[in-house]
Amino acid sequence: MKSWLMHHLYVAQYTLRRLRTSPISSLLNILVIGVALSLPTGGYILLQNVQGLSDKLVGTPQISVFLGMNTNQDEISHFTKQLEQHAGISHVEFVPREQALQQLQQSTGLTDVTGGLAQNPLPHAFIVYPKSNDIQMLETLRDELKGWSKFEHVQLDSAWVRKLEALLKFGRLAVLILAILLSFALVAITFNTIRLQILTQREEIEVSKLIGASNSFIRRPFLYFGLVQGLLGGTTAWLIITISLGLLNISLGDLVQLYASSFSLQHLSPGDSATLLCFSAYLGWLGALLSVSQHLWKTESR
């Protein structure tokens, strides 16, 4: 057991030495892997951020109904009852015009402006929560409500969010495809690097086999190399993302300040970061495994 551990330690040191013996090509390889990985990861982060933004804006779809200014209390209770009994509506919230004005003052800080008004310009409103999330049903419901008398203006708030979500779904698919393609590229890069190493070490492999090396003994240093190279590539990708997000947030800071908002791009979560590193290490290992196994298979079946 101890000698087994010692051997692994020895192989790990040997791997680092080998990375150092050709620093430029090692560095370039790691950089290529890093850039390849940072593309889908960056796309993923942007999508996460847009998703977070849209979640913050509107959760569930809702229809706002603004009543005419001359609607009286009886009519309001009549409408409330009718809306609550409607088959397509789960519940209804009534927003009196006084409350709407208060909310407006609180949320936008326009106290000065609204305070100067002679009278409340806002109408009574209903916020209608439909049962269905389906965009078609929502639009049908909106058109039906539009037909009711005294319903001055009917607005389906979440329509654009749902369009955004469809767009996000498309974006996620695109990122997924990109990730899969670049994963293949990463495996191919490692495969080729290891193949070149095998070519320069063909004699060592041949002699080792002749004096009793098992296949796993021969594979081990190459697998370590692939693993370490993948891991370093993943770390590079992580650094690229971190630096890019930092730069983007600086210029974004200026922009959002103009809109009196405090939005900044979120970085990868620790879990996502760990996944990135594990995945890149795994792909490097896989590329190395395929490369050595192919070589061993070729020499054995000769």
Partner 1 sequence: MISFKQVSKRYPGGYAALKNISFEVDAGEMLFLTGHSGAGKSTLLKLIAAIERPNGGLVSVNGQNIGKIKSGAIPYLRRNLGLIFQDHKLLFDRNLFDNVMLPLQIAGFDHREGAKRVRAALDKVGLLKREKAHPIALSGGEQQRLCIARAIVNRPSILLADEPTGNLDADSANSIMEIFKSFHQVGATLLISTHDENILREYKGRRLTLKQGELQA
Beta carbon of residue 231, minimum distance to partner 1 (angstroms, whole number): 25
The closest of 160, 168, 166, 144 to 61, measured between CA atoms, is: 160
Asked if 4 is part of the footprint of partner 1 (rule: CB under 8 A), the reply reads: yes
- Which of 70, 74, 149, 203: binder of partner 1 (CB under 8 A)? 203
Across 150-161, b (16+ Cβ under 10 Å) vs e yields ebbebebebbeb
- Which of 23, 115, 116, 212: binder of partner 1 (CB under 8 A)? 212
Beta carbon of residue 9, minimum distance to partner 1 (angstroms, whole number): 10
Asked if 299 is part of the footprint of partner 1 (rule: CB under 8 A), the reply reads: no
Asked if 265 is part of the footprint of partner 1 (rule: CB under 8 A), the reply reads: no
Which two structure tokens, joined as six digits, stand for 111? Answer: 């106290």
Beta carbon of residue 300, minimum distance to partner 1 (angstroms, whole number): 7
Site string for partner 1, 6-35 (x = CB under 8 A): xx--x-------------------------
Number of shown-chain residues binding partner 1 (CB under 8 A): 19
Beta carbon of residue 197, minimum distance to partner 1 (angstroms, whole number): 13
Helix-then-strand count for the chain, H and E: 10, 4
Q: Nearer to partner 1 by C-beta: 10 or 148?
A: 10
| Interatomic CA distance for residues 244 and 262, integer angstroms | 19
| Interatomic CA distance for residues 113 and 129, integer angstroms | 31
For residue 240, give the H/E element and its range.
helix 215-258
Which two structure tokens, joined as six digits, stand for 170? Answer: 């498309």
For residue 144, give the H/E element and its range.
helix 135-146
Contact residues for partner 1, defined by CB under 8 A:
2-4, 6-7, 10, 203-204, 206-214, 217, 300
